[in-house]
């Protein structure tokens, strides 16, 4: 798709994935409206584009239907990235997770329908698969989530499909597998790579919840952004598509790799109790993304980690020697 002059709305634009997507859309010449309630998102994630004439940031909440009706004017495509994002937090606050993820998404679909938005591309999650034994995960495998977060993402995928089937709206769900990279927050509830990078910089040991044998298909955010662009470009609708690197590593391997790449092998990896709601293995079969989106990941995990660490050191003026 030629994004030049297209009107795109990104929900969760001040968040990790939403902000990366927003920067890329602006580079491609789109007009972007970014909305965020700034609960998880940070305005500093948008600091380089706040003055850009093709970008408008509006603070607001996806649970507010009237707000959505106001901002969904002449929008071609919505990228819906706003979410309650933490699996462990969803176990502490299942109602809030449901409210933001399910009610918020339903609001978006309803408002988009009223305002004739052309297409919605939704950020789903590999957590919908839960703990089923078969690997790698294919899209038509059973969805048996084991956390309120996983339930909320599964429900929203189903809504995306139903709005396609019942109302003929164009919707696509991309099932993200553990995304990492620039602008991911280092907070107790953020992704493991961001947390560990913060600890490496502070010369602290890395903590693994469980025996470290759990594995994840860590996917670099630049690949995720590219797949989102492809999902708009290709004439597909009503689809759910895995979006992963297609090459899982265990947490122990990840810890060792991060220490090696940052030349901090003297730091220890320590093991602690497993985390409730944690799935053991997550690994994407990305054949469907290759077929429908012509998507091929460009970053191996190691390349992604290097790129991310370099960005981080430059941005925050940190002194790490990256191998
Ligand atoms: C991530 C996403 C979630 C969802 C899911 C899909 C985040 C914050 N969450 O959940 O939104 O899309 O992927 O599968 O990106 N861990 C440690 N030590 C730490 C922190 C985490 O060992 O200090 C472990 C944790 O127990 C888990 C693994 O690292 O086994 C990954 O945890 P995570 O919080 O980065 O991501 P996950 O898979 O729970």
- Reported as a single tens digit per residue, the pLDDT across 197-212 is 999 999 999 999 999 9
For residue 192, the ligand 1 atom closest to its alpha carbon is 35
pLDDT at 176: 98
CB of 195 within 6 A of ligand 1: the answer is yes
Which architecture characterizes domain 7-180+219-246+281-298 according to CATH?
Answer: 3-Layer(aba) Sandwich (3.40)
Q: What is the pTM of this model?
A: 0.97
Identify the residue whose tokens are 């239907």. Answer: 65
Pocket probe mutation, ligand 1, options 131, 143, 192, max atoms within 8 Å of Cβ: 192
pLDDT at 317: 85
Structure tokens at 41: 């998102």
**Where do the domains of the chain lie?**
7-180+219-246+281-298
**Which residue's CA is the nearest one to ligand 1's atom 29?**
192
CB of 77 within 6 A of ligand 1: the answer is no
Identify the residue whose tokens are 């996806």. Answer: 62
pLDDT at 319: 83
Burial class (CB in 10 A: 0-12, 13-18, 19+), 87: buried
pLDDT at 188: 81
Q: If you measure from the C-alpha of residue 192 to the centroid of ligand 1, how many angstroms do you get, rounded to a whole number? A: 6
pLDDT at 155: 98
CB of 275 within 6 A of ligand 1: the answer is yes
- Strands 249-250 and 215-216, bridge-based pairing: antiparallel
- Show the low-confidence residues of the chain (pLDDT under 70): none
pLDDT at 189: 79
Q: Are 37 and 13 in contact (CB under 8 A)?
A: no
CB of 123 within 6 A of ligand 1: the answer is no
**Which residue's CA is the nearest one to ligand 1's atom 19?**
192
pLDDT at 92: 96
Nearby residues of 184 by Cβ (< 8 Å), 6 or more positions away: 16, 190, 191, 193, 194, 221
d(CA 46, CA 194): 18
For residue 209, the ligand 1 atom closest to its alpha carbon is 22
CB of 141 within 6 A of ligand 1: the answer is no
Q: What is the number of other CB atoms lying within 10 angstroms of the CB of residue 4?
A: 9
pLDDT at 132: 87
CB of 19 within 6 A of ligand 1: the answer is no
CB of 87 within 6 A of ligand 1: the answer is yes
């Amino acid at each position: 798709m030629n994004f030049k002059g297209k009107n795109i709305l990104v929900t969760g634009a001040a968040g990790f994935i939403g902000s990366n997507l927003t920067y890329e859309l602006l580079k491609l010449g789109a007009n972007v409206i970014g909305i965020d309630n700034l609960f998880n998102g940070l305005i500093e994630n948008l600091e380089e584009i706040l003055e850009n004439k093709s970008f408008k940031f509006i603070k607001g909440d996806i649970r507010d239907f009237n707000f959505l009706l106001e901002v969904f004017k002449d929008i071609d495509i919505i990228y819906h990235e706003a979410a309650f994002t933490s699996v462990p937090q969803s176990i502490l606050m299942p109602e809030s997770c449901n409210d933001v993820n399910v009610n918020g998404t339903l609001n978006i679909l309803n408002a988009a329908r009223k305002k004739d938005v052309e297409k919605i591309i939704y950020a789903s999650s590999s957590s919908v698969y839960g703990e089923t034994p078969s690997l790698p995960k294919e899209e038509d495998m059973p969805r048996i989530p084991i956390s309120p977060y996983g339930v909320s993402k599964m429900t929203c995928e189903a809504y995306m499909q139903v709005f396609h089937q019942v109302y003929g709206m164009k919707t696509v769900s991309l099932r993200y597998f553990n995304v990492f990279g620039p602008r991911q927050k280092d907070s107790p509830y953020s992704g493991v790579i961001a947390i560990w990078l913060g600890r490496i910089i502070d010369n602290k040991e890395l903590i693994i919840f469980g025996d470290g044998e759990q594995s994840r298909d860590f996917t670099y955010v630049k690949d995720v952004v590219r797949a989102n662009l492809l999902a708009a470009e290709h004439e597909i609708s009503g689809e759910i598509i895995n979006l992963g690197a297609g090459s899982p590593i265990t947490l122990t391997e990840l810890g060792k790799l991060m220490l090696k790449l940052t030349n901090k092998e003297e730091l220890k990896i320590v093991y602690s109790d497993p985390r409730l709601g944690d799935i053991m293995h997550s690994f994407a079969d990305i054949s469907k993304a290759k077929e429908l989106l012509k998507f091929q990941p460009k970053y191996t995990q190691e390349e992604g980690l290097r790129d991310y660490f370099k960005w981080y050191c430059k941005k925050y003026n940190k002194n790490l020697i990256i191998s």
